[in-house]
Structure 1
Amino acid sequence: MDESPTRTVLDLMTGYWASQSVYTAAALNLPEHLEAGRTTSREVAAATGAHQRSLFQLMRFLAGLGLLRGDDESGFTLTPAGALLGKDAPDSLHDLVLMYGDEFYRTWGRLLDHVRTGRPAFEHTFGEPMYPYLAAHPEAARRFDGTMAGGAFFADLPRVHDFSGARTVVDIAGGTGALLREVLRASPGARGVLFDQAHVIAAARDVIGDAAPADRISYATGDYTESIPVGGDVYLWSRILHSRSDDSCVDLLKRCRDAMTPDGTVIVLERTIPPTGETSLGLWFDLQMMVLVGGSERSESQYAELFDRAGLALGPVHPLSLDMYAITASRA
C-alpha cells in the first residue's frame, strides 16, 4: 500500500499541533529561560510553575521541530529559529507567534462558518470585525502592531529598487518605521515621512529615538482612508491593500496619485497569487486575509487593473523574500 497520500493528509491535519507548541513555548517565554541558564524541564518548570513532565514532552517535541537542541539530561539550547521566539531577540517573532496562536488560531476554527456564509471567520469568533476588536483590546492591539512592525523582506527592498533619486519617501501606515528606516539607510539623500494613527506614531517615536536616520524622519498622523501626506515622490504601501476591496484600493491609489509629485512612484508590498498549479505563501495568506477581514491577495494582473483604474501604470515587479513582491507603479 502506498502510504504517501495518507502521510500527506496526516501531515496537513496535524499542522496545528506544531503551531500550538510554538505558541506555548512563546507564551511561557521559554527562550528567555534557556538563555538565563535554565536548560532542563525541571528548571524551567520551577521558574514558570508549569507541569514538569508535560513541559519535558513539549521541549522534546520542539527539539524534533528544530527549535531546540539537546535533551533533558545535558540541557536544551536554542537553535537560530528557536531564538526568534524570544521577546528581545533581533527580528523577534514573539508577538507574531502569540497573535497567530491565540486570536488567529481561534479564528481559523470558524473557517467552515465563513465559507458557508461569506462573513469573516473573525466576526463569527469574536462577535465583531477585527479592527474594532483590536481597538477594544489593547494587549491584542499591541501584539498585532508588533506583527506588522517588522518583516524579513524589508531589507530586500533597497536592494531591488533604486532609491538614489528619491527625495521624500512616505510610508503609509508604516507602524514603527522599520521599512522606512531600511529605505533611508540605503538612501542618504532622502527624507522620510512616517504616517500612521496617533497611538502608533507615539510608539514609533519611542522605538526610533535619536538613532540615525531619525534626523531624516518626520511624523504625520491620520487615517489613510481620509487623507495622506502630499508631496512625496515615493509612497510605500506595505501589506495594506490585501485587506481592502477593489473599489477601496482604487480610491486609495487615486488619492496617492493626486498626492505624489509628477514623477512619483508607488510601491506596493504584498504577496501575489501565483499561476494555477503553483504554490506560494500568497495562497496561504489569501485565506488568512479572508478569514480575518474578508480580504484577499491578488495576482500581478489584478494589481495592474487596480493601477489602471487609478490612473497609474504598472512598473517593474521585484521578488522579495518570503514570497513577497515589490509592485511598482507611476502615473499612466
Structure 2
Amino acid sequence: MADQPADQPAAQPAALEGVLRILQINEAHICGHMLQLAAELGIADLLAAGPRDAAGLAADTGSDPDALHRLLRFLAGQGIFTEDDAGRFSLTPTGDCLRSDHPQSLLDLLRWSTVVSRTFQDARYSLRTGLPAFPEAFGQPLFEYLRDHPEVGGHFNGAMAGFSRLESAAVTGAYDFSGARVVVDVAGGDGTLLADLLKAHPAAEGVLMEQPHVVVGAARRFEAEGLSARCRVVSGDFFDEIPAAGDLYILKSIIHDWADDDALRILTACRRAMAPGSRLLLIESVVPPGNTPGEAKLRDVVMLTLLGGRERTREEYAQLLGKAGLRLGQVVATRSPLQILEAVPSD
C-alpha cells in the first residue's frame, strides 16, 4: 500500500464515526421500505409451511423472480429470512412476526407504515406550516381517511392493537389497578388493554368508549374472552361527553394525537365525567430532557406529520392537566417506551 502523502491529513476516527452514523441513519428508511414490501406481498405467510425459492414466491405474488430474489436476499442479510444453498428462503424467529397468525404479529403495523412513509414524503409541508402533512398527501385528515377507506383503517386498527399487545403487560404490571371498581377506557381501540385489566382484576367492571366503526370489534373481543357481562361498550365523541361513574379513567396514546387546544377539550371532558375521588391515567411517551435519546422524540415528529399532535415533557403534561382542572401526581415508568401519568381533580 502506498504511503499517505505528507500534505494529506490522516482520517480522524471521531470524524469517520460521525460519517458512518449519518450514513446509517440515512439508509435506515431503505430497510424499512423493504420490510413494508415483504409485508405487503404476504411473504411470511407464504413461507409458513416451509422453505421456498424466489421463483415460486414470485409466481404467487405477481413479482419479477430476479427482483424478488434480490429483495429477499437483502432481508435475509437483516435476519428476517435465511437463504440455503439451493436458493430457498425460510423464516427466522424474527421473520415469524410478519405472519398474519403470529400472536405478536406486526403485519398490520408494517402495512400501515407504508401510509406513514408516503406521508413523510410531504413532511416539508409540516416544517413550513406547522400543520400535519397527511391531508396534503391524502386529501383528508387522518381519521376521516381511515373512516372512508376501511382497508387502510383495518391496517391502522390492527397496528394499534399490535402496539397494545406489546405494551399491555408492561402497563398492567407497572401500576396498581387493584382498587379500581369501574375502569373507563376512553378511545380504547379493540379493547386489548381493558380486557387484560379485567382478566387480572376479576372484581372490576369496564366501560370502553370508541367510535361507532370500532366498537363492534371491541364487543367481539370481550365476548370471545368471556368478559361481556363485566364490560360495556359505548360509542361516542370524547370531545363532547365521556361516560360518568368511573373511578379510573384511561387515555392510552390519545392525548399525543392532538395539539394543545384539542387535547385540553378531551381532558376537560374527562374532568367533567370524574367524581371527586376518580383518577385519570395518561399512558404516553414522555419526552426526556436535553439531548437524551428516546422513542418519544421519534414519535413526536410522526405525530406532527400525521395529525399535528405532539409528544410532551412531564412539565408540559402538568400544565395541560392543570388547565383542565386536574393535578399531576405520580409518574410511573413501564417496561416499554410508555409512562403512566396519574392525575386527580385539583378541586
TM range (shorter): over 0.9
SS at 1:133 equivalent = helix
Instruction: Determine if contact 2:210/2:235 at 8 Å carries over to the other structure.
Output: yes
- Other-structure match for 1:129: 141
The reply on whether 1:213 has 2:227 as its aligned counterpart is: yes
SS at 1:272 equivalent = coil
1:55 is displaced (CA, Å) by 1.4
- Other-structure match for 1:89: 102
1:209 is displaced (CA, Å) by 2.8
Instruction: Determine if contact 1:176/1:208 at 8 Å carries over to the other structure.
Output: no
Q: Percent identity?
A: 36
1:62 is displaced (CA, Å) by 1.0
Instruction: Determine if contact 2:51/2:90 at 8 Å carries over to the other structure.
Output: no
- Other-structure match for 2:152: 140
Alignment of 1:93-112 (within 5 A): 93-101=106-114, 103-112=115-124
Alignment of 1:1-332 (within 5 A): 1=11, 2=13, 3-71=16-84, 73=86, 75-101=88-114, 103-150=115-162, 151=164, 152-332=166-346
187-196 or 60-69, which moves further after superposition?
Answer: 60-69
What is the identity, as a one-letter code, of the residue corresponding to 1:13? N
Post-superposition CA distance 1:260-281 (Å, at most 9, x none): 2322111111111110110111
Aligned length: 331
What is the identity, as a one-letter code, of the residue corresponding to 1:9? I
Instruction: Determine if contact 1:38/1:44 at 8 Å carries over to the other structure.
Output: no
The structure whose Rg is larger is 2
1:71 is displaced (CA, Å) by 3.1
Unaligned stretches of 5+ in structure 2? Answer: 1-10
Post-superposition CA distance 1:163-196 (Å, at most 9, x none): 1111000111111100101111211110111110
SS at 2:224 equivalent = coil
RMSD over aligned CA atoms reads 1.7
160-169 or 73-82, which moves further after superposition?
Answer: 73-82
1:121 is displaced (CA, Å) by 1.3
Give the Cα–Cα distance (whole angstroms) in 1 for the partners of residues 342 and 247 of structure 2.
13
What is the identity, as a one-letter code, of the residue corresponding to 1:289? M
TM-score (norm 1): 0.94
Post-superposition CA distance 1:127-185 (Å, at most 9, x none): 23222222221211111122222321111122111111110001111111001011112
Instruction: Determine if contact 1:60/1:71 at 8 Å carries over to the other structure.
Output: no
Instruction: Determine if contact 2:97/2:106 at 8 Å carries over to the other structure.
Output: yes
Unaligned stretches of 5+ in structure 1? Answer: none
